[in-house]
């Protein structure tokens, strides 16, 4: 009898679950604080936590993305051993060869066709302004000052790279010291066309190595006139302004055919650091971070490096012009006469690029 009662009591007792088997309590309708709700009043729904998306929402999306990436990878048949180290090395070399072949083919194409866009502009991740103009319609003052600051040996240089100086630059980078020299005009043209902007210090050695093969190809297949023409049309002069034509209209409100020596120096001085400068309200340059309002960025302010190059070029431009031999420097690379000798109606830069209005 007592045994039967004990069995009945055990069957009616609630089942004790292990903590891992217990269901999680629902948070719906749980009252955290405050008085109890009035009879007939609706129980408010709990607020979702802001900034923490539900796992149920993200989980399937992540799984679908992983599955899509898995399908993109080449699948090995079952039982096939993984590729050897030699096979992987061959694959890497094959892709490296392709990566170098494409710029070399484009160099051959750009001897005849103007580059429609550049990788340098693509790295800007935003709208940019540029207007192509032929070298004959660019002020000779500007062309001479560009060569004077960037590469005075450009007219006589046989190779794109001075390898002795290049090794010194590598040593300076490894030692953490200042760069003893800059890139040649041909190297800079190669970088602007096919590579990224030099704003990622850990990748600088790789970028400088990748720019050499296309640069040397340019020196072989292009004339000096063509290399300089491409350079002045793809160089950056403001955060979103590329090419001497757009820069001349942006800063001075006129065509690049009539730039003076001093105006040319102002533009050329921006080439090393064009990111912290903008057009001043009345024309000319205004450097960012002018805290004291003196119109010139002082040491420690954001536009200091840009302003330093600006004043450096304005001070030394007359000496560069004389060292290069004036107009003889452009005549030596096949650009004779002066831009003002040509009809203004033929100037591709006779009107400002329409996209400049969007920068105001």
Q: What is the pLDDT of residues 296-343, one digit of tens each?
A: 676 777 888 888 899 999 999 999 999 999 999 999 999 988 998 999
Average pLDDT for residues 97-118, to the nearest whole number? 87
Cα→Cα distances 342→135, 215, 259, Å: 12, 31, 15
CB 153 within 8 A of CB 204: no
Which of the 8 DSSP states describes residue 237? Answer: E
DSSP structure class, residue 298 = P
Torsion of CA 52, 55, 60, 66, to 10 degrees: 80
Task: Note if the pTM is more than 0.75.
Answer: no
Tokens encoding 238: 């403001």
Residue percentage of the chain with pLDDT more than 70: 72
The whole-angstrom separation of Cα 45 and Cα 62 is: 28
DSSP-H helix ranges across 111-211: 119-122, 140-150, 163-175, 185-194, 204-210
What φ, ψ does residue 344 adopt, rounded to 5°? -65, -30
pLDDT band at 48 (very low <50, low <70, confident <90, very high): very low
């Amino acid at each position: 009898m007592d045994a039967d009662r004990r069995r009945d009591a055990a069957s009616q007792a609630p089942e004790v679950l292990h903590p891992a088997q217990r269901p999680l309590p629902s948070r719906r309708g749980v009252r955290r604080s405050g008085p109890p709700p009035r009879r007939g009043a609706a129980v408010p729904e709990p607020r979702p936590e802001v900034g923490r998306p539900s796992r149920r929402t993200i989980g399937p999306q992540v799984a679908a993305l992983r599955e899509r990436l898995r399908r993109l990878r080449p699948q090995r048949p079952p039982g096939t051993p993984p590729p050897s180290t030699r096979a992987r090395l061959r694959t890497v070399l094959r892709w490296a060869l392709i990566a170098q072949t494409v710029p070399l083919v484009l160099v051959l194409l750009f001897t005849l066709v103007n580059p429609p866009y550049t990788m340098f502009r693509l790295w800007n991740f935003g709208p940019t302004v540029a207007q192509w103009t032929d070298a004959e319609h660019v002020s000779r003052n500007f062309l001479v000052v560009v060569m004077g600051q960037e590469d005075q040996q450009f007219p006589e240089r046989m190779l794109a790279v001075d390898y002795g100086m290049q090794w010194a630059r590598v040593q300076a980078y490894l030692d953490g010291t200042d760069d003893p020299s800059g890139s040649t005009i041909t190297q800079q043209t190669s970088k602007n066309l096919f590579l990224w902007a030099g704003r990622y210090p850990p990748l600088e050695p790789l970028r400088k190595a990748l720019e050499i093969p296309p640069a040397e190809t340019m020196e072989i297949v292009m004339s000096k006139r063509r290399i300089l023409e491409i350079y002045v049309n793809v160089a950056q002069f403001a955060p979103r302004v590329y090419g001497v034509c757009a820069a001349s209209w942006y800063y001075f409100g006129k065509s690049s055919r009539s730039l003076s020596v001093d105006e040319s120096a102002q533009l050329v001085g921006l080439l090393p650091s064009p990111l912290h400068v903008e057009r001043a309200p009345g024309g000319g340059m205004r450097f960012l971070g002018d805290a004291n309002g003196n119109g010139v960025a002082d040491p420690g302010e954001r536009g200091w490096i840009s302003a330093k190059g600006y004043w450096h070029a304005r001070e030394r431009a007359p000496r560069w012009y004389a060292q290069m031999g004036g107009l003889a420097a452009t005549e030596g690379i096949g650009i004779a006469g002066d831009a003002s000798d040509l009809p203004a109606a033929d100037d591709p830069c006779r009107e400002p690029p329409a996209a400049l209005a969007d920068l105001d």
